Chain A
Amino acid sequence: MASIAASSSTYLQARPRQLAIAANQVKCLSYGRRSHLSFNLRQLPTRLSVSCAAKPETVDKVCAVVRKQLSLKEADEITAATKFAALGADSLDTVEIVMGLEEEFGIEMAEEKAQSIATVEQAAELIEELLLEKAK
């Protein structure tokens, strides 16, 4: 889940984060052909999602690392909200993704955090936090 940081004066050192609350129509996961599943590929209901302002460049770089680790095809869609598990990543993949991110960004993640990152967004936010820390 996106972390919610209050942009109050007590957080002067951290870059204040703006939160955009957007209503997202979740896309129907249809792959253009009939599924063998008996239940319909209906549209999942509209839900509110909180999108955090991790920089798009960070998100893009994270996506690139994930694509490489999981050997995704060009056509495979991956966005900030994408869960690694939904792409078929297991815990060993997650750990390799973390190593790839550490190499890409020149940071080190705490082990417990590393093993519990579940989405592109979470990774991007954690990376930006760590980069900020590093810059101090």
Chain B
Amino acid sequence: MRTSVISKMQRSFSIELPSLVPLQLPSRMETHLWYVVPEEVKSKSLLKHYSQLLSPPEKDKVLRMRGDELQKNALLARTLVRTTIARYQTNNVVDPRTLMFKKNMYGKPEVDWQNYKNCDNPPLHFNISHTDSLIACGVTVYVPVGIDLEDKGRKIKHDVLALAERFYSTDEVKFLSTIPDPEVQRKEFIKLWTLKEAYVKALGKGFSAAPFSTFTIQPKAGTTGGYNLCKEKTKKCNGEWKFGLLELADSHYAAICIEDDQASGGAPMRVIVWKTIPFVEDELISESRFL
């Protein structure tokens, strides 16, 4: 273990777990996005500490993943969720091992605050997404959030237009079919995928509540980085949901969707991004370019 970490140890939890640095809550309409690059987490003892944070069912789930790499990523994903949420507690940093999770009636994971007598628990919402090479967790207060990541270079095995025709809305197919360069077309397909997926995850009602072909996401005219959600049948686009699309770590597209509480007057989404290695370091990523 590095000396800087040892000097921070407070022994308030059991053996050797260094303390977590507390965090300021996001403000309304702000999303905090935390990501881990699995390749950067190599220390066996650190991974061992992480595995001590997980509940028994979570450990079982990690073990059911096929192969060391998938198991490591599953471990990092749960670690990221537990440590991030623990750090946002307004009174004391909560022991990440004591956090409990439940699923809403459609299967979307949420924090279960029943163990905490403290009524000041902020109405935190979170959502995670991961690929082979990146794991991210989005956090908001008061409004539901959905995030999705995709590797920018991800190969699509089928014809992109055929996939779009099968799964996307007619307007989205029209948009994609006007793109002459197949590489650009592939990228736009993936960006759309992440936006649509982020919406369904923010909605939290499962895919059957919002099949991809029933809604269109399109860039908002006159803005950079704003998107509209329009229903396929009615073509109505109401502003209930806000979207943001960014490039993360030079390698991924990350889409964020939050419920718009209408109080922000149509202002674009604010996202603050950190790269992190739980218990070790945080790095504020100052430039988030919206796409």
Interface residues, chain A, with chain B CB atoms under 8 Å away: 29, 31, 35-39, 41, 44, 68-69, 76-77, 83, 86-88, 90-92, 95-96, 99-100, 111-112, 115-116
Does A99 lie within 8 Å of B166, measured CB to CB?
yes
Some 9 contacts from A to B, beta carbons below 8 A apart, are A35-B71, A36-B68, A86-B64, A86-B65, A92-B193, A99-B163, A99-B166, A100-B158, A112-B208
Bound together, the chains give a CA A93 to CA B193 distance in angstroms of 12
When distances are taken between beta carbons in the complex, the residues of chain B under 8 Å from A99 are 158, 162-163, 166
Listed from nearest, the 9 A-B pairs whose CB atoms lie closest are A112-B208, A115-B207, A38-B48, A111-B211, A36-B44, A38-B51, A88-B70, A36-B47, A37-B51
Does A37 lie within 8 Å of B47, measured CB to CB?
yes
B60 at interface by CB-CB < 8 Å: yes
Does A111 lie within 8 Å of B47, measured CB to CB?
no
A46 to chain B, nearest CB (A): 14
* Choice from B48, B208, B212 contacting A37 with Cβ under 8 Å: B48
B69 to chain A, nearest CB (A): 8
A44 to chain B, nearest CB (A): 7
Additional pairs, 11, CB under 8 Å, beyond known A31-B68, A37-B75, A111-B212: A36-B44, A36-B48, A36-B68, A37-B71, A39-B59, A86-B66, A88-B66, A88-B70, A92-B150, A96-B157, A111-B213
When distances are taken between beta carbons in the complex, the residues of chain A under 8 Å from B166 are 99
B63 at interface by CB-CB < 8 Å: yes
Does A116 lie within 8 Å of B208, measured CB to CB?
yes
B206 at interface by CB-CB < 8 Å: yes
* Choice from B59, B66, B163 contacting A96 with Cβ under 8 Å: B163
Q: Which of B113-157 contact A (CB under 8 A)?
A: 131-132, 150, 154, 156-157
When distances are taken between beta carbons in the complex, the residues of chain B under 8 Å from A88 are 65-66, 70, 132
Q: Known interface pairs A36-B72, A88-B66, A99-B166. Does A116 touch B206 (Cβ–Cβ under 8 Å)?
A: yes
Bound together, the chains give a CA A92 to CA B186 distance in angstroms of 13
B198 to chain A, nearest CB (A): 11
B260 at interface by CB-CB < 8 Å: no
When distances are taken between beta carbons in the complex, the residues of chain A under 8 Å from B206 are 116
**Per-position contact with A for B5-46: 1 when CB-CB < 8 Å, else 0?**
000000000000000000000000000000000000000100
When distances are taken between beta carbons in the complex, the residues of chain A under 8 Å from B64 are 29, 83, 86
B150 to chain A, nearest CB (A): 7
A108, closest chain B residue (CB): B166
When distances are taken between beta carbons in the complex, the residues of chain B under 8 Å from A35 are 68, 71
B206, closest chain A residue (CB): A116
**Per-position contact with A for B52-67: 1 when CB-CB < 8 Å, else 0?**
1000000110111111
When distances are taken between beta carbons in the complex, the residues of chain B under 8 Å from A37 are 47-48, 51, 62-63, 71, 75
* Choice from A38, A39, A87, A95 contacting B66 with Cβ under 8 Å: A87
A72 to chain B, nearest CB (A): 9
Q: Known interface pairs A37-B48, A88-B132. Does A112 touch B207 (Cβ–Cβ under 8 Å)?
A: yes
